Structure 1
Amino acid sequence: MKDLPKRQKIFFVSIYISTVTLFILSLFLNYISITYDDWKVVLFFTILTIITESFTVIYLEISFSTTFAITLASYILLGPFSSTIILISGFLFRIIKLEDGTYNHFFNAPLYGTLFNCCVQTLPIFIGNYFYITIGGKFGVNNLFESIVPLIIFSIVYFIFNTFIMSIMLSFYINKNVLYCYFSNIKLGIINYVAMIPFGVMLAIIFQYYNFRGVIIILCPIVLARQIFAMYIESKTQYIQTVEALMNAIEARDEYTQGHSRRVAEISVEIAKKLKYNQWKLEKLMVAAMLHDVGKIGVSDNILNKPGKLTIEEFNKIKEHSEIGYNILKEVKNLQYVGPVVKHHHERYDGKGYPEGKMEEEIGLDTYIVQLADAVDAMETDRPYRKGLSKDEIISELENNSGTQFHPEVAEVYLNILKSRA
């Protein structure tokens, strides 16, 4: 922990202290009672938690876990004390396979991180439990009907506080505003939590009446849901890897634009986030930006790698790459939506671009975003015949060409981004 930045250390310690303080306060005010439930039941739900946590599915910023269903069921059946013990034990003994093939577990994870993860899960239970008890919630399946509203409130409070704590942590790593991280995580995580609430309730009811054997019945659809999501994530990962491989193949032929498509994608996503694109639209835009120059496959290496300025004839050959790219992608079912961006990313807002001279709203906003990102990266990058432009020079270019070359709204958004940078 000594290597962590100071503000991160302060945050970790504050979470530790808050969790312990709230637990003691809850005991003192009788919101939590130390109970001695059947050890077999506690062990059973602990094993379920270990399994579900060990099989958490992660993709980009999205994680899918069925643990909340187990936590909710144990909370209904056993109350806050035992459900907290179960959840902590699940986190302590989980084994997660990382992308590089190694495994993360209690014995190779830093202690401060393990403690933090436990607190992140248990602190929202204590806070949610306060609301649950205050508005009349009771434990046990027999009291479930009259406790439905308190249970929903408990789930909402748990989700809000769990997400908020994790968003603060995420903001340290990606250097983004906490509220930005918070609302992004809410949009990504709410489906998972909402889906797990009915599963948790059903799990508690079935366990109450059918004991251990009955749980296997309800676990089947939970495991199936996890497996379907895992298959979806695997297909998405393979899809992105295929796009990246194609992008790398394009850039391997053009030594002067190494990394260009990736930078265009990064700039495009940065602009789109300011324009409130949702995750689905962001992903589509990112793919379009990564493949915007795919048509260069059909352009001669001699022209692509010419160290000096191009002749008019050579430039006309280069201009063909947008239509070549469109014709390639229109035959690929899962990439047809990229076609219009690839074809028109050299058009201009005033209609003086190519290949069709389209203007203003004849072209979609995605295309204008990639068009500006493409131009900005070209301005920033050193070429054999000129040095890259400075930030102030790029700002001047965007201001002078907003409404002519560039879409005014897109140009304004990126100008604000540039001006906000130190």
Structure 2
Amino acid sequence: MLNKRVKVYISIIIALGLSFLIYSMLKIPKDTIPDIILFGLFAVLAESLLIYITKELTVSVAFAVDLMAVLTFGPYAGALIASIGTTFQVIKYEDGTIKHLFNFPYYKTLFNVSQLALSVGIAGLVFEYLGGIPGEYVYPKYLLPATITALIYYILNSILMAVLISLLMNKSLAYVLGTDFKWTIPNFLFLAFLGIVMAEAFIRIGYISFILLFIPLLMVRYMFKLYIDLKQSYYDTINVLMKALDAKDKYTAGHSQSVERIAALLSRELGLSESHIERIRIAALLHDIGKIGVKEEVLNKPGKLTDEEMNIIREHPVKGYEILSEVPSLRDVALWVRYHHEWYNGSGYPDGLKGDAIPLEAQILSLADVFDALVSDRPYRDAFSQEEAYKIILEHEGTQFSPKLIDAFKKAFEKNREEFKHDI
């Protein structure tokens, strides 16, 4: 069931999008209708060549076709062509299910058509406002307006979809853009360039350019799919390691995923870039990997640990560092994992680092790790409430955690209290 906010948002976008499409139909010259139909069929083909970024989020090579249409025929015809493409697309899901106009929920089709019409149409209007003339040679006179047009289309399309996902998942817009939509940047860079080239080719040589450029379009799709598959394989490997650790230590099941989420929230409050945050998220998922070498009876001991057992537990950051430092692409992550039990006042382990000698990334992992441990059940105690854990963290300002990190924690906790809940 869609909640009220989602229904209102979808209704607003559909109303605006369909209004723009009706207006576009009234504005286009009748002699462009055959071109719109032919371009629309090309857009349908492009929209059907989807690439999965997540289970729900996809991208397609249609961005280049839509941009080409806007630069060639203008904002109104461009919006109609993009709408034809997304209306009649045929989607084949990874499980073999095929979806099309006649078995797809009507409100999803209307939303997709509407948000695309708005994104393409507004981008096309910007092109004209910047002095661009649809149908004239793009290079060199209109190259800058065309580039800005591509950027506007990408931003509007991403934001309209991200707002919907944010409302559906009850996540912040920044979180959705940072986790899901960052994968689309390589797609945008490739297809913006290709869309401009395709528009220039069509204006110069006509419909034969479809044949000449369709192969490069497929190649771009293939390369981006390889990129996504490689990234997914990378995260799948990490998740398998985490599941192995969760199976070994039943009391920390879901702990790494919770630490990853909290670490990302803290990192954003500290103003770190999304590429930097991605590395920290990987470190968060792997921060306890050294515990794989610790005996289960020690990890799951219900009573107080002996000094010898405590020393064994305290070896896990170094063991994790030794495991991860063997992987060249994870050497920075390995250092952060090694230092995630260091204290700001120098009383932590394994190396007794103090103050700014502790990498900021390791400090982030440390606070995220401690908070989630506090709100989780442990063999020797029940979980603290969120409010209790919050107060305990604040009490350790200047000793375990730096004032800078505590300040970021306060802001992140107030803005995203639900995100600080432990994953079970």
Q: Sort the TM-score into its range (normalised by shorter chain).
A: 0.7 to 0.9
Does structure 1 residue 49 correspond to structure 2 residue 49?
A: no
Note the 1:7-86 alignment, pairs <5 A. 7-25=5-23, 32-37=27-32, 39=34, 41-60=35-54, 64-86=59-81
1:247 maps to what in 2?
242
Does structure 1 residue 331 correspond to structure 2 residue 326?
A: yes
1:5 maps to what in 2?
3
State the distance in 1 between where 2:359 and 2:390 align. 24
134 and 322 in structure 1: CA distance in 2 versus 1, 3 angstrom threshold: closer
Structure 1 residues 124-133 or 86-95, which shifts more? 124-133
1:392 deviates by: 2.7
132 and 358 in structure 1: CA distance in 2 versus 1, 3 angstrom threshold: closer
State the distance in 2 between where 1:34 and 1:123 align. 20
The one-letter code sitting in structure 2 at the alignment partner of 1:214 is S
Measured against aligned partners, the alpha-carbon deviations of 1:5-51 in whole angstroms (never above 9, x if no partner) come to 223222222222223334455677xxx22423373x54543333223
State the distance in 1 between where 2:48 and 2:21 align. 26
1:375 deviates by: 1.1
The one-letter code sitting in structure 2 at the alignment partner of 1:48 is F
Q: Which runs of 5+ in 2 are unaligned?
A: 419-424
1:382 deviates by: 1.9
State the distance in 1 between where 2:126 and 2:281 align. 42
State the distance in 2 between where 1:58 and 1:6 align. 28
272 and 101 in structure 1: CA distance in 2 versus 1, 3 angstrom threshold: farther
Measured against aligned partners, the alpha-carbon deviations of 1:97-131 in whole angstroms (never above 9, x if no partner) come to 44555344323321011011001111233334444
**Other structure's SS at 1:309 match:** coil
Does structure 1 residue 285 correspond to structure 2 residue 280?
A: yes
List, as ranges, runs of 4+ consecutive aligned residues in structure 1 with deviation greater than 6 Å.
Answer: 182-188
State the distance in 1 between where 2:179 and 2:260 align. 19
2:422 maps to what in 1?
none
State the distance in 2 between where 1:161 and 1:84 align. 13
Pick from 98, 103, 109 the counterpart of residue 108 of structure 1.
103
2:341 maps to what in 1?
346
State the distance in 2 between where 1:173 and 1:186 align. 15
State the distance in 1 between where 2:323 and 2:182 align. 35
Conserved 8 A contact 1:62-1:188: no
Measured against aligned partners, the alpha-carbon deviations of 1:134-160 in whole angstroms (never above 9, x if no partner) come to 555433235876555554554444344
1:71 deviates by: 1.5
Which structure ranks higher in relative contact order (CA pairs < 8 Å, sequence separation ≥ 6)?
Answer: 2
Corresponding residue pairs, total: 416
269 and 198 in structure 1: CA distance in 2 versus 1, 3 angstrom threshold: closer
1:278 deviates by: 2.4
State the distance in 1 between where 2:286 and 2:336 align. 9
1:360 deviates by: 1.3
151 and 341 in structure 1: CA distance in 2 versus 1, 3 angstrom threshold: closer
1:364 deviates by: 1.0
Conserved 8 A contact 2:67-2:196: yes
Note the 1:160-199 alignment, pairs <5 A. 160-178=155-173, 192-199=187-194
What is the aligned-residue RMSD (CA, Å)?
2.9
Pick from 387, 392, 399 the counterpart of residue 394 of structure 2.
399
Pick from 401, 406, 409 the counterpart of residue 404 of structure 2.
409
89 and 382 in structure 1: CA distance in 2 versus 1, 3 angstrom threshold: same
Does structure 1 residue 276 correspond to structure 2 residue 274?
A: no
State the distance in 1 between where 2:198 and 2:333 align. 44
The one-letter code sitting in structure 1 at the alignment partner of 2:333 is V
State the distance in 2 between where 1:84 and 1:370 align. 46
184 and 415 in structure 1: CA distance in 2 versus 1, 3 angstrom threshold: same
The one-letter code sitting in structure 2 at the alignment partner of 1:261 is S
**Other structure's SS at 1:37 match:** helix
State the distance in 1 between where 2:210 and 2:60 align. 18
The one-letter code sitting in structure 2 at the alignment partner of 1:326 is Y
State the distance in 1 between where 2:119 and 2:245 align. 49
Pick from 251, 256, 261 the counterpart of residue 261 of structure 1.
256
The one-letter code sitting in structure 2 at the alignment partner of 1:118 is V
Identity of aligned residues (%): 34
State the distance in 1 between where 2:51 and 2:252 align. 35
Conserved 8 A contact 1:35-1:82: no
TM-score (norm 1): 0.87
The one-letter code sitting in structure 2 at the alignment partner of 1:113 is K
State the distance in 2 between where 1:306 and 1:143 align. 70
Note the 1:104-183 alignment, pairs <5 A. 104-134=99-129, 136-141=131-136, 147-148=142-143, 150-152=145-147, 154-178=149-173
TM-score (norm 2): 0.87
Conserved 8 A contact 1:163-1:185: no
Measured against aligned partners, the alpha-carbon deviations of 1:251-278 in whole angstroms (never above 9, x if no partner) come to 2111222222222212112211222332
State the distance in 1 between where 2:404 and 2:47 align. 44
Conserved 8 A contact 1:63-1:189: no
State the distance in 2 between where 1:264 and 1:51 align. 42
